Amino acid sequence: MKKFLVSSFFAIAGMISIPAMACTTAIISAEASGTGRPLLWKHRDTDEYYNHIEYLKGEKYSFTALVNSKDEVYEEVWAGANEKGFVIANNVSYNINLKKYDNPSMNGVVMMKALGVCATVDEFEEFIRTMEIPRGARANFAVIDGVGGAAYFEVGDERYFRFDVKDSPKGYLYRTNFSVAGVEDQGAGYIRYEAATKIFEEKGSEFTPGWILDNPARSFYHGLMKRDLKDLSDRQLGEGYVISQDYIPRYTTVSSIVFEGVNPGEDPANTVMWSAIGYAPCSYAVPVWVGAGEEIPACLSSKDKALAPANEFAMELKGIVFPITRGNGNKYLDYLTLRRDILPAIVKAEDKEIAEGEKLNKSFITEGFNIEKVRKFNAKADKRFEAFREKMQKILEK
């Protein structure tokens, strides 16, 4: 254990600090998906620790999206899907621009506007192409639609590049905080990118929302040191603390969402947001159907500007595994407590939620979307969350 800690310290001490906006995303084609439908994953990192799911209306289309809970008015979103089956998420790109601009980042505004007017990937390209220069958008935008489109757009103030998933022989693409077409060896997220490479390549195909949320979203494999914390014994972990840097889940992780889109000819109302809001290792996914509009589980919602209960409780659990609040305490994760006391309960709750959600979703595919069934499902999902929170309170009381 001592040797591991020392080598970790020197490896990490020489790295440049990574900005808080350190998201990881992936697009998976229907062919590579275990559900037979396209998937889009958004693992969000930011210093805005509270977010929730909100139903909003755009210029042409309504949409369901991830928003900051402390926003007074929603002018930005951080991932979402609209009534036409168009889905979008982003990573900040720190190497897409060839020169520095002083204009503020408009990434969240761009996504909100796009959800309100775009029905397809091609329409999003036209939306980006016709934006005023400089755009204020500096991001890798991941997009899928309901007619078979799936692509990344690496967008800067003056230029953009399109990468279609159909051109990938593996059937999937992923990004961190650098653009493939950006300035070489600049940007951020290279170590997380290496971790994602290993995790996705080992799986290879048959990706599912549950696998994504339980693997890359909660993986403590380090892309530089080539070590996975799950392989360490309790004895090797000693006091249980590890230096938490450059893993996919980070101190700044505030949500992890997998969008399950629809195929051509299917009802876009069946688009699902499998939503784990809060620190992903301490939060489990609850499904939200885009066709349900304002019918969103209460545990994922902000009522009267209150914090979403699922996010709020995930932050309480996060406080247990990041208990040191002074100095550089947020760099030290109590991985032993996370692995022993919290993750098993998270995975069990999520497995139940996904099983119930998949059962309902299959009925929608064969029988058509049914809003009353969603209402009943949401009520049961909220009861399951309350039972989970009550059970986990025992850990908080230790």
pLDDT tens digits, 163-180: 999 999 999 999 999 999
As a whole number, the mean pLDDT across the chain is 94
pLDDT at residue 8 is higher than 90: no
Distance from C-alpha of 198 to C-alpha of 299, rounded to nearest angstrom: 33
CB neighbour list of residue 205: distance below 8 Å, 6 or more residues apart = 32, 34, 171
Pairing between strand 51-57 and 241-243?
unpaired
Q: Which residue has the higher pLDDT, 136 or 395?
A: 136
pLDDT tens string 37-81: 999 999 999 999 999 999 999 999 999 999 999 998 999 999 999
Both tokens assigned to 301: 């919602």
Of residues 249, 273, 254, 330, the one with CA closest to residue 68: 254
pLDDT at residue 1 is higher than 90: no
- Cα Rg of the chain, angstroms: 20
Both tokens assigned to 102: 């002083």
Both tokens assigned to 332: 């030290």
Residue 298: domain span: 2-396
Which run of H or of E encompasses 332? Answer: strand 332-334
- What per-residue confidence (pLDDT) applies to 20? 63
Q: What are the DSSP calls for 153-182, one per residue?
A: EEE-SS-EEEEEGGG-TTSEEEE-BS-TTS
Pairing between strand 332-334 and 286-289?
unpaired
Both tokens assigned to 248: 């996919």
Q: Out of 15-24, 248-257, 368-377, which region has the weakest mean confidence (pLDDT)?
A: 15-24
pLDDT tens string 222-281: 999 999 999 999 999 999 999 999 999 999 999 999 999 999 999 999 999 999 999 999
pLDDT at residue 10 is higher than 50: no
Of residues 270, 214, 204, the one with CA closest to residue 37: 270
Give pTM, 2 decimals.
0.94
How many domains, in total, are found in the chain?
A: 1
What CATH number is given to the structural domain containing 258? 3.60.60.10
Q: What pLDDT band is residue 219 in, cutting at 50, 70 and 90?
A: very high
Distance from C-alpha of 251 to C-alpha of 114, rounded to nearest angstrom: 30
- What per-residue confidence (pLDDT) applies to 4? 29
Residue 286: alpha-carbon gap to chain centroid:
13
Q: What pLDDT band is residue 186 in, cutting at 50, 70 and 90?
A: very high
Which run of H or of E encompasses 56? Answer: strand 51-57
Of residues 216, 350, 369, the one with CA closest to residue 283: 350
Distance from C-alpha of 290 to C-alpha of 339, rounded to nearest angstrom: 33
pLDDT at residue 216 is higher than 90: yes
- Which of helix, strand or coil describes residue 197? helix
Distance from C-alpha of 249 to C-alpha of 192, rounded to nearest angstrom: 9
Q: Which residue has the higher pLDDT, 21 or 213?
A: 213
Give the mean model confidence (pLDDT) for residues 296-306: 94
Which run of H or of E encompasses 276? Answer: strand 272-277
Question: Are 320 and 326 within 8 A, CB to CB?
Answer: no
Share of the chain above pLDDT 90, in %: 91
